[in-house]
Structure 1
Amino acid sequence: MAADRYGVSNRATAAIVTATLIDFGLITPEDQNIVTDKNKVARARQKYRNQIQHKEMVEVIDVTGIYFDGRHDKTLSNITINGKCRTQTSVEEHIVVIDQNSRYLFHTTPESGHGINIASSIYTYLQKNRLEREILLVGCDGTNVNVGWKNGSIVNLERMLGRELQWAVCLLHTNELPLRHLFEYFDGKTSVPNSFSGPINKSLKKTL
């Protein structure tokens, strides 16, 4: 489990385990029956992964609600240019989905951050795990890409499912709107994300 969590190779894990057993005196020149090699580690890791996968498949049967959130992450990807493989950094939308009991279900990388693509990625998972008839509730941030009445991710997911869902929307983004509109009314809109355009905010920036 620790080897998988920290990305340690089978060979390195075997060396660490064997060295630890030697330090505790469990492996001696006369008794080397429990020396660990990379193949033994590989078998143990695969057995543990199968157990976890089976446990998650049993738990996923009880899923009746899903909550999701996303963010843009810089990701390394391999591309082929003129027959040569090169590494480049690209920005991808990553969506993480949990169930109604806050258990991790899966994560996905939709084609884009648009509502239709987010909904399609989630629906694909629901279909694969035969959950499209079990889901009753969906929760997310109250951003327009999620809760837009025409093309938000929830609306698109409902269209794919062919029925309506109960919405559980975080209202923190909604709470920001009155304050933002108040600032814009008295001082105008921001010119760029990290700069101010009106005299009040410019004065505050100099003071701070």
Structure 2
Amino acid sequence: MEIVKALYFDGQKDKSLTHNKKGDKYYYNTISEKEHISLVKEPGSIYLGHLALLFGAAILIKDVILDFYNRKEILIESLIAVGCDGTNDNTETNAGIIRLLEIAINRPLQWFIPLRHLLIQLNGVIQGPKAFSGAIEKSI
């Protein structure tokens, strides 16, 4: 069994292309609002895989993460930390994904959430994914 001490995940809703067969022909449809979740193992930033869901309810995402662990034979008992962005679906104290994972494995986990407000305070407003405008970026 594989050991994963820290799991990082991130989700994105986007359009996905699917195909259906009717008779001898394939028809392509675009499904919007399909949730894609990437899973990364730390340390080392090793890609574990990704999950695709029709919608991203926190309890469903928790279930597919646990199912992924079972299918890949990853030892859930080795998990000590979870990281993700600070959205409410991930970090809500009673029904967020991380809290639901803690309840499922019956023990607390270390949460790694970027401190966006602190970074904005120290560095200024982010101008874009490729813009280096803050004091931290300029010093690098």
TM-score range, shorter chain: 0.7 to 0.9
Match of 1:112 in 2: 55
For residues 65-98 of structure 1, the C-alpha deviation after alignment (integer angstroms, 9 at most, x for no partner) is 1001111121111236799642110121000010
Query: Residue 77 and residue 83 in structure 1: after superposition, are their counterparts in 2 closer, same or farther (change >3 A)?
Result: same
2:80 to 111, 132, 136: 136
Query: Residue 146 and residue 177 in structure 1: after superposition, are their counterparts in 2 closer, same or farther (change >3 A)?
Result: farther
Distance 1:123 1:167 in 2: 17
Q: Does 1:77 align with 2:18?
A: yes
Distance 1:80 1:175 in 2: 51
- The TM-score, its normalising length taken from structure 1, stands at 0.50
Q: Does 1:99 align with 2:38?
A: no
Match of 1:88 in 2: 29
Does structure 2 retain, via aligned residues, the 8 Å contact 1:97–1:105? yes
Match of 1:68 in 2: 9
Alignment coverage as a number of residue pairs = 118
Distance 1:169 1:176 in 2: 12
* C-alpha displacement of 1:111: 3.9
Root-mean-square deviation (CA), in Å? 2.6
Does structure 2 retain, via aligned residues, the 8 Å contact 1:147–1:154? yes
Q: Secondary structure at the match of 1:119?
A: helix
2:97 to 153, 168, 179: 153
Task: Return the structure number with greater helix share.
Answer: 1
- The TM-score, its normalising length taken from structure 2, stands at 0.73
Q: Amino acid of the residue matched to residue 93 of structure 1?
A: E
Task: Return the structure number with greater strand share.
Answer: 2
Does structure 1 retain, via aligned residues, the 8 Å contact 2:61–2:97? yes
Distance 1:105 1:141 in 2: 18
Distance 1:109 1:86 in 2: 21
Identity %: 33
Larger radius of gyration, structure 1 or 2? 1
Distance 1:74 1:144 in 2: 22
Does structure 1 retain, via aligned residues, the 8 Å contact 2:4–2:74? no
